[in-house]
Amino acid sequence: MSHPKKEQTLIIIKPDGIQRTLIGEIIKRYERTGLKLIALKMLIAKTETIRKHYTIDPEWIIKVGEKSILSYEKKGLKAPYSDPEKVGNKVLKNLQGYMTSGPIILMVWEGNQAVGIVRKITGGTEPLVSDVGTIRGDFTVDSYQIADTDDRPIRNLIHASGTVDEAQKEIALWFLKEELLNYRLIQEQILYDVNMDGVKE
Ligand code: ADP
Ligand code: MG
């Protein structure tokens, strides 16, 4: 097993994040934690790559449908649909349009518990109920209800890998091995080294 400080996760700034001119604000929030940026690129994605990205986990279609239905139940409302698979397929179709509508930025961040820390800073899927202080909670207003009413995907600025396994597969989809840079940040000495040597003069 590699050292825990080597955990990697994929972040995508979605087309709405770019259009809202939030690139700097978003990167700042991940960077200041102490996580290390090891790869970055900007591109306009192909529909097929987006489909592959969201179907890396073959259960995702069902899970995303179940999560959508549950989001209504949690608010004491009845979802406008009941078949998780149907919802999942509809979300996938809409996501393909959304994610290819303009440039996106892909980044790989590395550090202790990178997947969990990035999810925490990003916030929950639905901006309406994402925690205050998270990127999704602070910078946008979307909800399942308005997205479903207009038959479009929830615009929530960011994609962040859900698990370490998912992260590895997503990174392999978007990046070549040699695009992931192996280097040390000086601050890692303070974050991770066993002894904090070299501070006192
Ligand atoms: P997350 O991005 O938080 O991991 P999911 O993996 O559940 O969320 O869903 C992927 C993306 O699909 C979400 O970020 C959102 O943009 C979109 N989405 C999910 N469920 C719905 C829905 N019911 N209606 C519209 N868009 C949705
Ligand atoms: Mg997800």
The DSSP symbol for 131 reads P
> Which residue in 159, 161, 167, 174 is the catalytic one?
159
199 or 8: which leads in pLDDT: 8
Evaluate: CB of 69 within 6 angstroms of ligand 1: no
- Output the residue whose Cα is nearest ligand 1's atom 7: 64
Q: Is the pTM of this model over 0.95?
A: yes
Please name the residues in contact with 51: beta carbons below 8 A apart, sequence gap of 6 or more.
Answer: 92, 96
pLDDT digits over 169-179, tens only? 999 999 999 99
Each residue of 49-79: b (16+ CB within 10 Å) or e?
A: ebeebbebbeebbbebbebbbebbeeeeeeb
Question: How far is residue 179 CA from its own chain's centroid?
Answer: 19
Residue 106's H or E segment, with its range, is strand 104-110
Using CA atoms, how far apart are residues 55 and 48, in angstroms rounded to an integer?
Answer: 11
Amino acid making up residue 58: P
User: What is the span of the domain harbouring residue 149?
Assistant: 15-183
Ligand 2 center from residue 53 Cα (angstroms): 10
Question: Within a domain: residue 200?
Answer: no
Question: Within a domain: residue 5?
Answer: no
Question: Within a domain: residue 195?
Answer: no
Question: How far is residue 42 CA from its own chain's centroid?
Answer: 15
Question: Within a domain: residue 1?
Answer: no
Backbone torsions φ then ψ of 29, nearest 5 degrees: -65, -35
Question: How far is residue 73 CA from its own chain's centroid?
Answer: 25
Q: Are strands 8-13 and 158-160 parallel, antiparallel or unpaired?
A: antiparallel
Q: Are 5 and 111 in contact (CB under 8 A)?
A: yes
Question: Within a domain: residue 26?
Answer: yes
pLDDT digits over 11-68, tens only? 999 999 999 999 999 999 999 999 999 999 999 999 999 999 999 999 999 999 999 9
Q: Say whether 53 is catalytic.
A: no
Distances (CA, A) of 12 to 59, 119, 200: 21, 12, 40
Q: Are 105 and 10 in contact (CB under 8 A)?
A: no
Q: Mutate which of 62, 64, 66, 101 to test ligand 1's pocket (most atoms within 8 Å of Cβ)? A: 64
198 pLDDT band (50/70/90 cuts)?
A: confident
Question: Within a domain: residue 65?
Answer: yes
Question: Within a domain: residue 155?
Answer: yes
No. of helices (H) and no. of strands (E), the chain: 10, 4
Number of domains in the chain: 1
Domain of 109, CATH number, reads 3.30.70.141
Question: Within a domain: residue 4?
Answer: no
Using CA atoms, how far apart are residues 173 and 159, in angstroms rounded to an integer?
Answer: 14
User: Taking residues 156-166, what's their average pLDDT?
Assistant: 98
